[in-house]
Structure formats: structure tokens, C-alpha cells
Amino acid sequence: MLMHGDWGPPGLLAEWLDARGIPYDLHRTYVGEPMPDVAGYGFVASLGSNRNPNDTDDPAVAAELVLLREAIEHDVPVLGLCFGGQALAAALGAAVETAPQPELGWMTIETDDPERIPAGPWLEWHFDRFAVPPGATEVARTGAAPQAFRHGRHLGVQFHPESTVEIVARWATSDAERLAALGLDGDALLAATEDERAAARVAAFALFDGFLETASEPAASAAAVREA
């Protein structure tokens, strides 16, 4: 699992892995250690980041793009979440650009596969967006951006199925000036009932289960996942 800062933990993804009995490794890309070899891993998960895949002057971003291209070349499934989805798209040859409008807080999406990519509710927190890569299929969208694509056994999403309100609240605090300039209130964007939080967790588990099902075909079971 590729983690890009202490403020962006795996959250619900880690809960799902534990619930399914799937062991995993957590690689902190920001501490400067070399990226591991993808060989032998069941799949690779890339989490959110405050960087952009176009920031290739950042050694960690450049190294991650190399790792993702190696995963694609060797058919190691990739699950990309927000920045991770953008990085997967870039590794597949798609553009990543500034979104015409940021998507912040709780949203629902239009989906062509509601069982594996539920409509939500999802937490979003991004100012950039990916284009759907060549050869990929767009699976979900909003009016502002593609929200999910599949490319073989790879899945990239623009939202944060792994994140909880508590995690995203830290991002809202960091982005307080940007929110103020947009006339937005972080607390209002993240307000949710217990039922809504529970629904988001159910949706996240459904998405992760759907990814694992696709990722396991035709490869052997991903029960021995070791994530980069």
C-alpha cells in the first residue's frame, strides 16, 4: 500500500483488509526509501496525496509512476484512490489536469456498475482530475470529472473510499485558506449523520470487494496480498 503522508492513512481500506484476513505492507513514499519490487504482490493500492502526478520533479512521485508502470507491465492489479487514481491514469498514458471546479466533501456519483462501484455517499477532496486512459472504460462520473475507470484488472477512482470524516477534516484544516477563497465551510462540507457514515463504509467495502474479485481473475487468489 502506497501512503503519501501521515495525514493520509489507509482508513477504511485497512479495516477492509483486516476484516477479509488479507495481510498487507505499508510503504511510506515520503520517507525516501526505495520503492519495493512489485513481483509477488497480489495487488498494489495507491492512496491520496497532496501532490499531482505531474510533479515528476518530486523523486517520490517519479518513483511511484515507475512502480505503477511496472505493475501494469507485469499485470499486477492496481487500485488507485484519488491521487492514486490520477497516478494510475498517468501511468497508462492519460492526462491529469486542474479540474474546472474542485470536488470537496460528500458527493454521490453516476455509476454504470452500482454493485462494484456504488453511487456513494463518497468523500471527495481534489482540485485536479484525470482523463480516462486509452483502452480503459469509464465506469462512473460526475458533471465535473470522471470518477472511476477500469483498465483490465486495474481500477482508478477520483474519490476517497478509504477515508473517514476524521481523516478528511485534517485536509480541510490544511486547506482553510483555499476553502475561504471559495466561500466554503469545511465543517459544513463534512457534516454527516451516523447513518450516512455507515452507508459510506458499506459502499467502500463493496467497492474493495468488487476490485478484489476482478483483480483475482485470472490470477491466483489475492489472499496472500503483499502491497508495495
The kind and range of the H/E element at 156 are strand 154-157
Structural domains of the chain ordered from first start: 2-224 (3.40.50.880)
Amino acid letter, 103: E
Q: Tens-of-pLDDT digits for all 228 residues of the chain? A: 999 999 999 999 999 999 999 999 999 999 989 998 998 899 999 999 999 999 999 999 999 999 999 999 999 999 999 999 999 999 999 999 999 999 999 999 999 999 999 999 999 999 999 999 999 999 999 999 999 999 999 999 999 999 999 999 999 999 999 999 999 999 999 999 999 999 999 999 999 999 999 998 764 333 333 333
φ, ψ of residue 43 to 5 degrees: the values are -165, 165
φ, ψ of residue 74 to 5 degrees: the values are -100, 10
Q: What are the start-end ranges of the E strands in 17-91?
A: 27-28, 44-46, 78-81
Residues taking part in catalysis:
82, 160, 162
Spatial neighbors of 172 by CB under 8 A, at least 6 apart, are 104, 125, 179, 186, 187, 189, 190
Q: Is-contact 219 41, C-beta < 8 A? A: no
Burial class, 155, CB count within 10 angstroms (exposed 0-12 / middle 13-18 / buried 19+): buried
Helix (H, G, I), strand (E, B) or coil at 55: coil
